[in-house]
Amino acid sequence: MRVDFFGIAFETPRVTFYLWNPWRAALLEHKLFDAVAGLPGVRREQSGEEVAAHVEDPKTVRLALTAIQRVIKGWQEEAEMGTDRRTWRWLIDGDTNADGYDHNGEEFCLWGILRVSLDRGGVGESEKGEDIDLEGFGLRIWANK
C-alpha cells in the first residue's frame, strides 16, 4: 500500500501503532492509541509489555493520522491562555546495517514518536521551554519485502 506521511510517500505492507508499557504511559499517550485502535479495520494485538494496532489500508492510515492530530489539538487547546504555548512534531528514526537489518537483527523499518513542547512564560518573563518525547506511543512503518 502507498502511505502519505505528511508529504512523504512510503510503499509499505502495513503501519503499526504501539502503546509501550501501558501502565507507565501518560494519559495523552493512551488517548492517542485509543483514537487509532478504535478505527474500523484496525487489528489490535496485545503482548506482555505492549499493545499494537495494525493498519493495512491507506485510507485507515490517513484516518489514524487525522485522529492523532485531533487528540493533539485538543491537548493544545487545554493550555492556559497567554501563558502556555504547546506544540508538537513527529520524530522519525531508522537504523540499518549493510544487510538491511537494525541493531536488534530485525528487518529495517522507520519508527516515529511524537515530541511535544511546552513553552511557559508571561509578559516580561523569560520563556521556560520543555520538550517531552512521548516514548510510550509510536508508530512503525514496515519495510516492503
In terms of Cα–Cα distance, which of 92, 128, 123, 124 is closest to 109? 92
- One-character DSSP codes across 107-129: BPEEEEEEEEEEEE--TTSPPEE
* C-alpha to C-alpha distance for 121 and 84, rounded to whole angstroms: 7
pLDDT digits (tens, 9 = 90+) for 39-85: 999 999 999 899 999 999 999 999 999 999 999 999 999 887 777 88
More confident call, 93 vs 125 = 93
Beta bridge partners of 47: 50
| pLDDT at residue 38 is higher than 70 | yes
What pTM, to 2 d.p., does this model score? 0.88
